Amino acid sequence: MKQESAQPNYGNICTALELLAFLLSILRPEAILSSLKPLQRGIAACMTCPNSKVIRAVHALLSRLMGLFPSEPTTSSMASRHEELESLYTSISKRLSVHWKKNCRVIVVVCPPQVVYEGLTTYEKSPAAPPSTLFGCLMILKAACVNHPCYIDRLITPFMHVLQKMAREHLSPGGIGGGAGGQESSSMGTELLILSLDLVKNRVGVMGQEMRKAFIGAILVGLIEKSPDVKVLRAITKMVEDWVKSKSPFAVNQSPTLREKSILLVKMMQFMEKRFPDELELNGQFLELVNHVYRDETLKSTELTSKLEPAFMAGLRCVQPTIRAKFFEVFDSSMRRRLHERLLFIVCSQNWETIGPHFWIKQCIELVLGTAVINAPLRSAQPATLLPAATTGLQSLEDIAITCPATALKEEPTDTEEEIDIELPSSSEERSLLDGGVAGRARQNLQQLVQRQGRFLEGLRELRLGAFLNATVQLCHLDTPLAQHLWQQLMPRLWKVLSDRQQSVLAGELVPFLCSGSHVVQKDCHPNAIGVFVEALAQCNPPVAIKPALIKYLGRSHNLWHRACLLLEQAALTGRGGSGASCSSVVRGAAEEAGSAAEDALAELYSLLREEDLLGGLWQRRARHPETPLALALEQQGCFEQAQAALEAAMARAPRHEAAGMLQSECRLWEEHWLR
């Protein structure tokens, strides 16, 4: 009967490797070299072991060993300057030749590919190779690169081919190793992909043009756009962060160019939040990187700041308060703290389209409140709400005598609850003594009450306006209805503070701001940021002049039907009131023209809202022909034939030359209702 070979004892192997790694930290270099010379073949054999624990133990051993005895550069003819480690170091990668001295002459022996090179080429050429075939060689390569990053340069070409294949398999529907190894194999494939990216991230400078283009444009961009694993995107974000923050000449030479960094950052901006909106850690990591770009003196003057503006606005609306505060600090420092200038910035300079459907009124509130004097003490705006002090109402001299010592705010011990068995007094003297004790406790309680209120008032004296406003802003970020209400209450008061000239300048910029196409993204949002802005403007005094056509557009496009109708009704009444006898002909004509435009816009809104009764009432006031209100009244009552006859009579009576003038809107009404 054939006897089966014994299974290797992986536990003992791992223990031995860990013991060797420990000995490296306590032995002298000479002792280490002499001890490892006979163990080289055994350690090299462990490099090809299929057991992951053994591979990790070998990795720890080689990392420490190569830290003590570095390998030679790529251009050297030897793997190690120490003859005792030559065989072991040669086993790690493909060496074209091994040199050693014997009898004072050099003998050259050509060696076959070894652990790392064999692992890379096997995985590249095998279409169905699982990721476990790469685990050993990548861990050994990592050990070699820990203390010598340039070590990978000798294998950069096969390594990049393997990295491209790993990225393609990771982005395939099954993922890396998804077919045979299941979830565990896929997890290992992701881990190895991240390890490979980490090994090559600081060797971009040695890549050729095509290899560099494939690494940046195909591998990294493809992973950012399509990778389903958050761990991969975190690794890429960390890698780009190292590139952006590196300042040493060596790191700058081995990192991508500014243009390549901007490509990666823009792709991260476009896809990270879109694909992983709930990954707060990933989005926070990216936003911290964007914040660094806007704070760095070198980077903030480059093209990165303009390209990353949507990412900066994403930082201003971030749900994490600490990150949001960092972005607002940069935003706040970019402009002067003057109310008029910040209001102009809101309506003129800032493109709110980049913030998307977010309710950007919150950012407006924070900008405006940032102009306040933060060190000013807090005061109540309404004195009627102030509460009386604890000493209010004291009448007797005895009460005043009790409270006078409390003005020094002397600390007294607090009361403790104790259960005491006592006997009731029987004589009058005992009862008087007991009453005196009760009065003393009452006096002590009153003293402590006054002291507590004194400490409370002293604490209030230390509060400043900045803390209150900051808390208000944070509440607005958490509560959208609160931000909506606050802006509608705040904007009219701010408008009243501005001078006449400042109001005139700001009003001139409001019309292009309100009709800007950048607000289209807000149309289907509730609450609507531009709608809340208009609601606040409607309450300003003196009123902000807005053209009727713009009011009609806002009402239709941003669901401001009620407010638009109210504004147009007010404008129509103002226009009619401006035609009095005391007005000059020019003023009277301008008022009538404005009133007519407001009535036209109001009539169109009434028609869209199917407010037939209001439409009839409007034409009852402005109709030039009596048939117009008659036809509308008949139509409301269901007498369509009589209404049609009245419309035909009106059209027959109307002169041709008037159709293009004042009667144009009335003629259009006849045609629309007659076609009904």
Which tens digits make up the pLDDT trace of 397-448? 455 565 555 555 444 454 555 555 555 555 555 555 555 566 678 878 888 8
Domain region containing 639: 625-676
**pLDDT score at 655:** 61
Q: Is the dihedral of CA 655, 660, 665, 668 positive or negative?
A: positive
Nearest in space to 281 (alpha carbons), one of 329, 327, 235: 235
Do 136 and 191 have their domain in common? yes
Pair 116, 162: CB distance under 8 Å: no
**pLDDT score at 325:** 95
**pLDDT score at 90:** 73
How far, in Å, CA of 309 to CA of 302, rounded? 13
Pair 650, 672: CB distance under 8 Å: no
| Residue 369 placed within a domain | no
Residue percentage of the chain with pLDDT more than 70 = 76
How far, in Å, CA of 138 to CA of 136, rounded? 6
How far, in Å, CA of 185 to CA of 180, rounded? 8
Do 109 and 172 have their domain in common? yes
Length of the chain: 676
**pLDDT score at 238:** 95
Report yes or no on whether pTM surpasses 0.85.
Answer: no
Nearest in space to 67 (alpha carbons), one of 150, 147, 151: 147
Helical segments of 246-303, H only: 249-253, 258-275, 280-295
391 vs 238 pLDDT, higher one:
238
The mean per-residue pLDDT over the stretch 369-391 comes to 78
Cis peptide before 527 (omega within 30 of 0): yes
How far, in Å, CA of 4 to CA of 6, rounded? 6
Task: For residue 90, give the 3-state DSSP assignment.
Answer: helix
Asked which of 157, 182, 200 is the last residue of a domain, the reply is: 200
What CATH number is associated with residue 76?
Answer: 1.25.10
Query: Does 48 score more than 60 pLDDT?
Result: yes
Average model confidence (pLDDT) for the chain? 79
Nearest in space to 443 (alpha carbons), one of 392, 416, 387, 404: 404
Do 70 and 164 have their domain in common? yes
Which of left, alpha, beta for 409 (phi over 0: left; psi -120 to 50: alpha)?
left
Do 188 and 278 have their domain in common? no
pLDDT band at 660 (very low <50, low <70, confident <90, very high): very low
Taking CB atoms within 8 Å and a gap of at least 24, the contacts of 496-504 are 496/540, 496/541, 497/339, 498/339, 498/340, 498/343, 502/340, 503/542
Asked which of 289, 316, 343 is the last residue of a domain, the reply is: 316
Do 175 and 311 have their domain in common? no
The predicted-structure confidence for 225-249, as pLDDT tens digits, reads as follows 999 999 999 999 999 999 999 888 8
**pLDDT score at 182:** 56
| Residue 149 placed within a domain | yes
The predicted-structure confidence for 127-178, as pLDDT tens digits, reads as follows 777 777 788 888 888 888 887 788 888 888 889 999 999 999 898 876 654 4
Do 278 and 178 have their domain in common? no
Q: Which amino acid is at 236?
A: I
Do 264 and 138 have their domain in common? no
The predicted-structure confidence for 561-587, as pLDDT tens digits, reads as follows 999 999 998 888 876 654 444 444 433
| Residue 601 placed within a domain | no
Do 125 and 252 have their domain in common? no
Considering only CA atoms, give the Rg of the chain: 41
Query: Does 331 score more than 70 pLDDT?
Result: yes
Q: How many CA atoms lie within 13 A of 317 on its CB side?
A: 19
Task: For residue 107, give the 3-state DSSP assignment.
Answer: strand
The mean per-residue pLDDT over the stretch 61-84 comes to 70
DSSP 98: E
Instruction: State the Cα angle at 25 between 23 and 26, rounded to 5°.
Output: 70
Asked which of 200, 216, 231 is the last residue of a domain, the reply is: 200
The mean per-residue pLDDT over the stretch 340-359 comes to 93
Task: For residue 499, give the 3-state DSSP assignment.
Answer: coil
Burial class (CB in 10 A: 0-12, 13-18, 19+), 153: middle
Query: Does 495 score more than 70 pLDDT?
Result: yes
Instruction: State the Cα angle at 430 between 424 and 435, rounded to 5°.
Output: 85
Pair 196, 166: CB distance under 8 Å: yes
How far from the centroid of its chain's Cα atoms is residue 467's Cα?
23
Domain count, the chain: 3
Pair 129, 122: CB distance under 8 Å: yes
Query: Does 346 score more than 80 pLDDT?
Result: yes
Among the listed ranges 344-353, 522-531, 661-670, which one has the minimum average pLDDT value? 661-670
